[in-house]
Structure formats: structure tokens, C-alpha cells
Amino acid sequence: MWDYSEKVKDHFFNPKNAGAVAGANAIGEVGSISCGDALRLTLKVNEDTEVIEDAGFQTFGCGSAIASSSVLTEIIKGMTLDQALKVTNQDIAAELDGLPPEKMHCSVMGREALQAAVANYRGEEWKDDHEEGALICKCFGIDAAMIEEMVWANKLRTVEDVTNFTKAGGGCASCHEDIEGILEKVLKERGESFDPNAAPVAKPAPVVAEKGPMTNLQRIKKIEEVIMSFRPQLMADGGDVELVEVVDKTAYVNMTGACNGCQMSAMTIAGIQQRLIEVMGEFIKVVPASQMPKLVNIQEAGHA
């Protein structure tokens, strides 16, 4: 598991300003429950001074999403709208004494909710930019503009970085090549060269103690446990999921019953992958078993 700061734990176990603000005159909603994270930010703004007098949040997501939303409301109370708009996702993470890199997208969601709320107050139409550029990650609806912005703002340099900050590439992984193209373009503009083997820029902080690497048997057992936790809900809807094979850090699964061929199966697989990453503290890819022979053969050819 990841090491969280004491501030993250405090805001998770004792969230500040949870719930909707009574008499709110600014509302910002971002994310999607189907993608695993959603945030509704409500503000009470003084109409004469544009000072945020109260702020509240309603979050569907992990502990980091709750903590990020909680600390955001604490940061912006007492600020004018223009001052609040200058708050960045790095500010949110810093106020929590850091977030694991795999959870930085939670701070990004908070920043977007704030922008949406301010636009709502001012009678403007807020766009998250996810529809303005070419759609890169279909699993989570992330487009090129969003990825480019995060690469610039956070000095990202690997696909793993992009996934940590935006979730793009965290589903079926078919967009990794396009993400690499964006990284290559932005890094070139920054005067740098893209290295697909570079280490991620962000590291968890603080690290208390390093744990030994997980054995393949331990990894398989953990993957089975997570998949088993998804089965009751899927079976209630007439579907199911089963683990077929684990190769290195890639898990191959079969979607059966009503889940076989369902348009939401990609979302389910993405949800399983996200849960695995959270539980195991390492990047685990979940892939439909129908892709297994092709990928395994490629791996075997590479070792030949």
C-alpha cells in the first residue's frame, strides 16, 4: 500500500466542509461515477465582494479524492474568486504534504471543480477541454488538450506520469502510443527529448519504509481477491468476470454472461485495473483474455 501523509489521513477520516452548502450560489461538477471519481463543489459567494464565504463538497471516489476535496474547501474559503482561480493542483497536493503520484489526478479534479463553480457563478459555460481536442483515452474520456496541459504544468515525462495525473492510459492501454506522441511533442517544445524508459517524475512522499517486491504468487493471489470483490455486483446483473492468466504485471480476464460484449465491459475492466493499482501499490494492467495470445507471443518473440 502507498504511504499517505498525516494530513491526507486527517482530511480523509475527518473531512472538512463535507456536504452541500446551504444557499450556495456557485456549483461545479466534474468527473463521472462510471469512471470511479466524481466531485460536486458548492460555494456561497458574497455578491458584493466576490469573496467565498463558505464551501462544501460531495465526493464519490477514493480517500485521496476526499482529502483533496476537503483541503480545497479549506484553502479557498475567504478568497475572492479571482484569487481562488489561481489555486493549482500542485497547491492542493502541497497543502496535503504530498500525494502518491498515482493519486495526483484527484488534485486535478479539485482544480477543475473550482473552475466549473466560478464559471457557474458568473453565468459562463465552463468546458473541461476534454472535448476540444482529439479524444486520446476513450476509457476515461481524456483528450489531447488535457494531457498537454498536465504535461506542461507538472513537467511530466512518461506515460505512467500522465496516467497518474489524468487517468489517461489507465484502462485498456490502447492509447499509450498516442500519449507518447504528445509527450514527444511537448518535451521537444521544452527543449528535451522523450525517453520511453525514463523514470516517473513524481515520487510518493514521504516514504516510511520500503517493502520487499511482491512475488508472482503473491501478486496472483491479490489479483484474484480484487476480481472476486467485483463478481457479486456483476453476477447480480447477469454477468461475471474470471481471471485467466497473469503474465508479469498484466492480468488477462474473461467477461462472461451479460458482460460479454457489453458496451460497459471496458469500463468494468478499467475499474478493476484502478482497484488493483490502489490495493497493490504498483501498476497492473488488465487486458481482455482475447488479446492474450497475441501479446504473449510478442513477449516470447522478444525473449527469443
26-66 residue pLDDT tens: 999 987 655 557 889 999 999 999 999 999 999 887 788 88
**148 and 117 share a domain?**
no
**136 and 122 share a domain?**
no
pLDDT reported for residue 136: 77
**121 and 11 share a domain?**
yes
**19 and 100 share a domain?**
yes
Quote the CA–CA distance of 13 and 20 in Å, as a whole number: 18
Domain membership of residue 198 (yes or no) is no
Among candidate residues 26, 30, 35, 67, the one labeled active-site is 35
Domain membership of residue 299 (yes or no) is no
pLDDT reported for residue 289: 84
- Is 259 annotated as contributing to ligand binding? no
Among candidate residues 72, 106, 114, 286, the one labeled active-site is 106
Quote the CA–CA distance of 285 and 276 in Å, as a whole number: 9
Domain membership of residue 300 (yes or no) is no
**22 and 114 share a domain?**
yes
Quote the CA–CA distance of 168 and 147 in Å, as a whole number: 8
Provide the domain count of the chain. Answer: 3
Give the model confidence (pLDDT) of 135-179 as tens digits. 677 666 677 887 888 888 778 889 888 887 877 777 667 788 888
Q: Across 170-174, 233-237, 249-253, 279-283, which has the greatest mean pLDDT?
A: 249-253
Say if residues 261 and 277 touch (Cβ distance below 8 Å).
Answer: no
**138 and 121 share a domain?**
no
Domain membership of residue 250 (yes or no) is yes
pLDDT reported for residue 219: 81
Quote the CA–CA distance of 168 and 159 in Å, as a whole number: 9
**16 and 93 share a domain?**
yes
Quote the CA–CA distance of 57 and 290 in Å, as a whole number: 41
pLDDT reported for residue 210: 39
**17 and 121 share a domain?**
yes
**104 and 44 share a domain?**
yes
pLDDT greater at residue 105 or residue 85? 85
- The enclosing domain of 46 has a CATH number of 3.90.1010.10
- Whether 259 is catalytic is no
Domain membership of residue 237 (yes or no) is yes
**222 and 271 share a domain?**
yes
Domain with 156 in it: 130-190
